[in-house]
Amino acid sequence: MIRGLSLAEVGELPAVTDLVIAGRAFGLGRTKAYELARAGEFPCPVIRAGATWLVPTAGLLAALGLPLPACSGDTEER
């Protein structure tokens, strides 16, 4: 059985994550996640970088209907 990600785990993801972690957020196993990505049917945008599949967390959150976390970076005007 696939252990999905909790809301807390999803909220702690970096800006870009790998396909297996993103698949877990949808309750998908490794094989199914790669199958869907190759077919262009993964439930959120994916990026192919050579042999690696990357998933922008913003797209993952949007597909899950979750808000983007607040930015904690420098917000001072320059």
Let me know: does 38 contact 51? Beta carbons within 8 Å: no
First to last CA, the chain: 50
CA distance 8 to 11: 5
The residues spanned by each domain of the chain are 7-63
In order along its 78 residues, the chain shows pLDDT tens digits of 677 888 888 888 899 999 999 999 999 999 999 999 999 999 999 999 999 999 999 999 999 998 887 766 655 554
CA distance 63 to 43: 7
Burial class (CB in 10 A: 0-12, 13-18, 19+), 5: buried
